[in-house]
Amino acid sequence: MDKKVTVIGAGNVGATAAQRLAEKQLCDVVLVDIVEGVPQGKALDLNEAAPVEKHDCHLTGSNSYDETTGSDIVIITAGIPRKPGMSRDDLISTNAGIVKSVTKEVAARSPEAILIIVSNPLDAMCHVAFDASGFPKERVLGMAGVLDSARFRTFISMELDVSVENTHAFVLGGHGDTMVPLPRYSTVAGIPITELMAQDRIDALVERTRNGGAEIVGLLKTGSAYYAPASAAVEMAESILKDKKKILPCAAYLQGEYGQQDLFIGVPVKLGAKGIEQIIEITLTDEEKQALQKSADAVQELKDLLKTLG
């Protein structure tokens, strides 16, 4: 393969992302983790699945960063996962240190890479990676909106008993309880969902989307979601590797867009070979603007907290 993607963290999200990348035949994959034997074992297991799955992508497991040299994309999933009763924000102190260290290691070896951040709390960790890497804003982005939109699309599909392929949804804002699902921009075969279901049902789906991660944490009890987060990160990677220029909601560094300054927050972007090639501003109602500002304020609080942590 002429493309190389490194996945940092060989836990459930990282290992599943590695599997999806290989099975989509997108790239060779380097899986890195600090636990000796785990990335090597998972990479070998995935390599042994290749003859059955019919792909020739090579997977390498490592406890060192040297194997990551020359990566086109680095997906950072490292950090502790949420457990029941924890918010994403509870993770900030531990995960900030992990993401800072990891980012410096990979940025030194792959100075032209694009970073996709998955570690929580997502928006805050984007700031950590942005500062630690010194990369331009186009090459640091966070996976949040693709996942949140996928959850919204799933619930729309369930509610209306239609194919998920016919659903499109947009979720803006921070990756947390203040995220902003936009029913006006969410459609089934081009028809806004506001034309297809009553307001109380829309409100229920919006609320379930906001709590989508917590719902799974509550069910699993010992961890958090990983299949859908991995798929979301890989969709972003695919758009970059293939220069597809998909419009996807991602955490991006805003400098004036949507009235936000120097803040990572989820907005629609065009993803291509250079990373974020365009931030797309859509017209919001006053109510939607207020909701997005509330979400931005929550992200700003986390950003300020990072400063106190050093």
**CA 221 vs CA 10, 63, 92, 215, 231: distances in Å:** 20, 28, 20, 10, 22
Band of the pLDDT at 90, cuts 50, 70, 90? confident
Check residue 291 and give its pLDDT.
Answer: 95
| Catalytic-residue membership of 55 | no
Q: Residue 283: count other Cβ atoms within 10 Å of its Cβ.
A: 8
What residues have CB less than 8 Å from 287, skipping those under 6 apart? none
Q: Residue 292: count other Cβ atoms within 10 Å of its Cβ.
A: 24
Check residue 89 and give its pLDDT.
Answer: 67
Residue with tokens 């990566």: 71
Residue 221 has pLDDT above 80, yes or no: yes
From the candidates 55, 58, 127, 175, give the one annotated as an active-site residue.
175
pLDDT in tens, 206-220: 999 999 999 999 999
Over residues 229-235, the mean pLDDT reads: 98
Check residue 283 and give its pLDDT.
Answer: 93
Determine contact, residues 189/168, Cβ cutoff 8 Å: no
Is the peptide bond prior to 121 cis by the omega test (within 30 degrees of 0)?
A: yes
Report angle CA 275, 81, 99 to the nearest 5 degrees. 45
Tokens of 203: 């409100």
Check residue 86 and give its pLDDT.
Answer: 66
Tokens of 9: 């963290």
Check residue 57 and give its pLDDT.
Answer: 97
Q: Which domains does the chain have, with CATH numbers?
A: 4-142 (3.40.50.720), 145-309 (3.90.110.10)
> What's the rounded Cα separation, in Å, for the pair 18 and 29?
6
> What's the rounded Cα separation, in Å, for the pair 301 and 283?
25
Q: Residue 199: count other Cβ atoms within 10 Å of its Cβ.
A: 9
Check residue 88 and give its pLDDT.
Answer: 59
Reported as half-sphere exposure (CB side, CA atoms, 13 A), residue 118 has a value of: 36
pLDDT in tens, 97-124: 999 999 999 999 999 999 999 998 999 9
Rg of the chain (C-alpha set) = 19
Over residues 49-75, the mean pLDDT reads: 98
Residue 80 has pLDDT above 90, yes or no: no
> Which of the pair, 127 or 176, is modelled with greater confidence?
127
Determine contact, residues 180/291, Cβ cutoff 8 Å: yes
> What's the rounded Cα separation, in Å, for the pair 128 and 107?
13
Taking the CA atoms of 223, 228, 231 and 237 in sequence, report the sign of the dihedral they define.
negative
Check residue 82 and give its pLDDT.
Answer: 65
Over residues 130-144, the mean pLDDT reads: 97
Q: Which of 42-56, 69-83, 128-142, 245-259 has the lowest mean pLDDT?
A: 69-83
